[in-house]
Every structure is written in structure tokens, then in C-alpha cells.
Amino acid sequence: MLRLYDTRNRQVQQIVPDGARSLRMYTCGPTVYRYAHVGNLRSYLLSDLIRRVSERQRVRVVVCRNITDVGHLVDDTELDPAGEDKVQAQARAEGRTALEIARFYEDAFLADAAALNMRPPEHSPRASETMDTTIELIAKLIGKGHAYAVPDGSVFFDAASFPTYGEISGNRLDQLRPGHRTEGVDPRKRFHADWALWKPSDRELTWETPWGRGFPGWHIECSAMALKFLGEHIDLHTGGIDLRFPHHEDERAQSDSAAGHEVVKHWVHGEHLLFDGRKMSKSTGNVVLLRDVVDEGLDPLAVRLAFMEHRYRQQMNLTWDTLRAADKTLRRWRSRVAEWSEFPSRPMPADQVSLIEAAFDDDLDTPLALRLLRELERDDSIAPGSRLEAFLHLDQILGLDLSLDIGRSRSLPAGAAELLEQRERAREARDWPAADRLRDELAALGVKVADTPEGQTWSAFWD
């Protein structure tokens, strides 16, 4: 069964218990105020791979991936920053309403996800449309003594009421210091590490509550949506490594305090993506969008393949050369699959396929899986029809549309598939005279054969 590195427990653990037939997974979704860059998209590939591997093991996966369209401030790196909502800041910059901005960039994100063959989640709630649930959760936390309201209409989570805070990131409450953008401790708070669940405001996208009009904090929204759509027992929570602190620490404290027990069983995080050796940012000018990849003439699924060349919890340096190499491999594999489809179908090579599947099960060791797949591609001792079935089977996990070129070229003439298979065996036996004779026979039928480092390839030609 699938094993992943649990950030909180600091070890690789089996995610679905033996005999279990379902997996409930929450993935922190996008804040829809700009286009997602490829670094953002890498973290969503993580949850998609988890889903595909689990479903291959006949596990029913229920995914909730939220849409943050309110509550995420321009600077949420501090425990309780003052600032402007990201969506509203972008709305002001573009001269549109906040909802227009949110829906536009939500649609753009969904288009990118579809282009990368990410399977849609069962639940995709918007924070703005689950506000009743969020307000009810805040009231519950106040009632249980884990949160408190102050006269100006703010509500804060009482961090000291959750003694195991810091188990995900290692940031303990007694070691935290006030944010560097604040002058001293906020006098409204009981403890400087308390964070806002509700903020008073009468601007756009605000709601009435028992504490006054305002909007929620980013962290409480995820707790509310996860609990509403997946319940109080969630098997797996994923996200980028930058969300460990404070977002996931705060989310865990809120959810567990409301439920009275540990809600999320496993926390799994994907590492940062660099581009040309630097973190993606507007200031460095190296933000790469999926549409930039397409504009370069590359298949968007080359991005998916390039990501899998590195393990999800390893920092990765993506370059244009890396993407071009992935695109070349993707096109070659599709061509090979199309060629193999002209041969009689044969059973998959069970041993090789099992090794590749085991690599995915072992903490998503995608580099090993791809290395074994390349070996299978080059192994001429395995019948083309067997390699075809193996590649199509494994593409259920890879998600690379490897069957895309099947049927696009004219079929082989009668008898050519058998001659190609005989020639494969002749090459394996190093019977070069037989291989040359069979090449000539194929040419007479209108099939041109070439030998490459990856194996025998063919193309049909007619006068």
C-alpha cells in the first residue's frame, strides 16, 4: 500500500490501513487573485498522484480542494498581519470587483489543472460560499474556551489553549516572538501568538456576525471547509511546504479544538520549486506560467513529466532545458506506444510493472519509476504488444496521455507487424544478416525501419 512521509510524525508511514477501502484527503487550494505559476501547480500534482496511486489499489478517494476567494491577506507570513485581502488588492489594481477577479482566476486555475490531467476533486468549495459554516465554527471555538472576542469585533484563537501546537513545523509557542512588522504585542491579544479568526471591516466581501461585521482569517476557512465536506476524521492533508507554518499549524489547532480529537491522521507536504536556480517571484522576473510553456511550443504535460523526474519532497530546479527534454521524451513515448499498438496485444511483463508500481507506493519515488519505465521501453526482449499494455496501464498513474498518437498514422500493411516482431527478436539475438533481410522485406511492404539507442522504430511510406 501507499507510504508517504508524514511531516508531523517525521517518518514514512502507510497512508491507508490494510483492509481500508477509502481515503479522505484535503488539499489546500489556490488563492484566486492571479494566475497559478508552475511552482504552485507542483503541489497540486502531489495530491493528484496520491489519488491515482490509491485508486489503482482500489481505494475510493474523496478529495476536497478549496478555493480561497476571501480572507487571505497580502502578507500572511506573520501570525496576525495587518494588511489587505489579496483578492481585493488585485481587484483594485485591475479595476474590477473582487468577485470578478476571483471567478476569472478560478477558471484559469481549473483550466491549468485540466491541462495537466489533474482529476477534479469531489468537493471544491469557495470560502465566500461557506461563510455560515465558518461563523458557526468560530462560535463553537468561543463556546469551548479556545477563542475570544474583543470589543472592536475581532475574534482571536487562544493559542495557549492548544498545548500540542507546533507538532507539524516544530515551532513551539514558547519560542515564538512577535512579528517583525508589529511594534510590541497587540494589546487586544491575551498572548502575542494568538491569531485572528475574524477581523472587523465594512469593505467589500464582509458578513454580519454576533461580533460585528467583518471577514474571516485565512486559516479558519480551511478548517471550516475541511470539517464540513470531509468530516471530523480526515486521512490525509496535503499542501506545499510553505504552508506548514503558520497555516497548517493554525488549522490543526482550530480543527482539533473544535472536534475534541486529532482530525487529520497524516500531513504531507511538497517541496519548493526553483526556476533557473531561483525562487519564482515577480521581483526576479522568473515567474513561469503554464501558458508560457505552451507558447514555447511544448506540451503542457511535459511539465507534469518534468515534475516526476524529482521526488515530491525534494527541492527541484526547473529549467527550460529540463522542460524541452521532458517534451522530447513525452513525444517519443507516444510515438513508441503508437508503433507498439500495431502489434498483437500480449500480457504485460508482470515483474517489470510490479517494480514500477512499487516505486510509486514507496513514498512516490517517481524518479525510480521513470527510470524503470525507460528500461522497459528499451527492452527488446519484451514483445511490443506487452510493452504497449504496460505503458497504457501505467499511464493511469502517470497521466501523460501516452495513447494520444494511436490511430493518427496509417496502419501497417498486412504482415508487417509480424516481420517487425521477427526483426526485434533477430536484433536481440544479434543476428544482423536476418535483421537486414527483414528490413528489406519491410521496405518492400512500404515500411521504413530505423535502429535507435531506444530501440527499433518504423514509419510507413507509400509511393
Residues annotated within a binding site for Zn(2+): 28, 222, 247, 251
Give yes or no for a contact between 408 and 338, defined as CB atoms under 8 angstroms apart.
yes
Annotated binding site for ATP: 282
Give the integer Cα–Cα distance in Å for 236 and 230.
11
Annotated binding site: 28, 222, 247, 251, 282
Distances (CA, A) of 105 to 110, 240, 266: 9, 20, 30
Between 218-230 and 249-259, two packed helices, what is the crossing angle to 10 degrees? 50
* Whole-angstrom Cα Rg for the chain: 26
